[in-house]
Amino acid sequence: MKFGVIIFPGSNCDHDAFWTVEKVLKQRATFLWHESHELENCDAIIVPGGFAYGDYLRTGAIAKFSPVMESVRTFADGGGLVLGICNGFQILCESGLLPGALMRNAGLKYVCKPVQVRVENADTAFTNACRVGEVLTIPIGHMEGNYYCDDATLAELRRDQQIVFRYCDAAGEITTEANPNGSLENIAGICSPGRNVLGMMPHPERASEPELGGTDGFKIFQSLVEAGVLAAK
């Protein structure tokens, strides 16, 4: 399976994602330049974390106009797998690939720490290696992770089971105290109606090797490979 990792000016988690795919997951990986339309026949695209274009205006507001995102939209519309991590989640929302928006954290402080998230939907290309209700420990590092959408959109997310991850405590309980950024209904990650596009604020690439303190994040990448194998059959 071949993964493409996008590089924007200001990306700082692109090499982490590339390392995880190539060295840990043992799959092919290539970098995709933001000014290019070419996706190099990749099977999955990763929109990584960082500060694309300096996060000027709003997070992801400039990145959505980059040539590579035009190709990513076409790729996703055709059922291609797209994973947006942190700033990548913000870019996917700005690009219209996912609904809602990521606002400033409640308390207006940058938050960087391991958190627990509960798997709400294991029937996606990104969570098939998980089980519903499973609690994963994955780090976050963001200033704008406060997910928000209007009531109609929230109703759709619930109805179509597009809420994939929620912040929780170690026992899997969804509590206000477990919410690190004020996100609506503790939402930490959502998917598209077709379940081929996922945006998540936690960084799975930072929890994919024992040396990093945990491997729960590796299940996201493992799931993608499994989805790719099934799609090829």
**What pTM was estimated for this model as a whole?**
0.96
Inter-residue contact 209 to 24 (CB < 8 Å)? yes
Return the active site residues.
Answer: 86, 203, 205
Give, for 142, the enclosing helix (H) or strand (E). Answer: strand 135-142
Distance CA 145, CA 90 (A): 8
User: Which CATH number characterizes residue 207's domain?
Assistant: 3.40.50.880
Identify any residues that bridge with 101 across adjacent strands, giving them in sequence order.
Answer: 148
Quick count: other Cβ atoms within 10 Å of Cβ 133? Answer: 11
Range of the domain at 8: 2-232
Quick count: other Cβ atoms within 10 Å of Cβ 179? Answer: 20
Tokens matching residue 16: 């982490």
pLDDT tens for the 233 residues of the chain, in order = 999 999 999 999 999 999 999 999 999 999 999 999 999 999 999 999 999 999 888 899 999 999 999 999 999 999 999 999 999 999 999 999 999 999 999 999 999 999 999 999 999 999 999 999 999 999 999 999 999 999 999 999 999 999 999 999 999 999 999 999 999 999 999 999 999 999 999 999 999 999 999 999 999 999 999 997 666 55
CA 97 to mean position of chain CA atoms: 12
Q: Domain tally for the chain?
A: 1
What is the Cα Rg of the chain in Å? 16
